[in-house]
Structure 1
Amino acid sequence: MAKKAKPLASPVSVAFTLAWLEKRGSKRVAEGLGRFGIVTKLKVVGVPMATLNAFLKEFGTDQALSLALWKSGCYEARLLAAMVGDPEKVTKAQMNAWAASFENWADCDTACFKLFDQTPHAWELAKKWSASEKEFVKRGGFALMACLALHRKEEPDAKFLAMLPLIEKGAADDRNFVKKGVNWALRGIGQRKSPALKRAAMALAKKLSESKEAHTRWVGKDALRQLSRK
């Protein structure tokens, strides 16, 4: 499992953090979000991910700061909230609340990749969210599956095999960010160091690639193409 940075030696405030972000913001970066399909109603200051990683490296984790940053009204602060959170202190209630407020693939994927997949609630909520009607909650379910496949190196195959029926069902959703999340989850499972998982993932990918629905075919064909690479 991916390891979080060390806890803060001395807590920093939300005001300090927002000022830190403002100082490092870039109008060019802020205006470029749309090119990546990132839409938000929050304030955007234009801080790249590499700079957010620098904050984490310098200041470490702080669960109280994480919760406050998520509610701060700043897009980059939301991403940072996921990065400085403490997975051992994250509750299911927090995860569900954050998921319900996801605005785009970026805050969704960052929360799943940087924080949620390290919590004990990840498996349960991946399944629950994958059945949601809300676009980015549903994407979050499949993003969690993909992140679990990537980061939980010691988990048994059975846990990931149980995800494949959920992925097959999710492939029927034609919404762009959902189908890409479904594809990511399928590829992630197939790319684990398990011949059995690769065979199962490729079999499902082949089945999906033969669907009558274009969006379902795309999920299968793209996964099959990438899983076939040596």
Structure 2
Amino acid sequence: MIIKVELQKRLQADDRSFQLDIAFTSDSKRIVLYGPSGAGKSLTLLAVAGLLTPDQGMISINQHTLFDHHHGINLPPQHRNVAYLFQDYALFPHLTVAQNISFGIKKGWLNPRKASHHPRVQKWLTLFELGATANSYPHQLSGGQRQRVALARALVLEPDMLLLDEPFSALDPALRDRMRNELSELQKQLNVPMLVITHDPADVAALGDAVFEIRDGKIASTKMASQPT
């Protein structure tokens, strides 16, 4: 797996402006973008997902071009085969656990009740130990269960890469540690590439084989797992 990101984006709000100028390449399956709030981490993740259009640059995963300003390529999010996990998980409150997971399947959104019985949905219910809550609604779940549902909904798509936006920020400290370890083990088990953004050094230590520190819209430093701390 190789991801290449070269992007420039200027944002203007009233009398303030922000220049994003990010460039990195990695063949790691555990990539972390690390830095303080407002550094440009989320903007970078949104650009990879296709939810933000850069002014210049290119983005590719496994030589599959997602965005290339020079050649006029800008694939819509649904054609990028990446899965984006939002900070608040963005579960549908009116759908059950199984129906939320099934929503990601092609045409599952047309009839989530029927799609909830799809074999792939049952697979992730089992893997994430969510079978007992399959017919429950998001408000009936714990924070850890909601995160598992969101992860299952993302992974049911069989994406080329999983994009995680501060995945543990909504959890209390004790649950955060447990879910961090669970995600690390899950990634190793499934071998799915992931790109994580965080401001938490504990996330970096647990999940980052390739770490790119972002400050003021630029890559400030790079560290690989083989490098000493």
TM-score when normalising by structure 1 = 0.31
Q: Which has the higher contact order (CA 8 A, sep 6+)?
A: 2
Structure with greater helix share of residues = 1
TM-score when normalising by structure 2 = 0.32
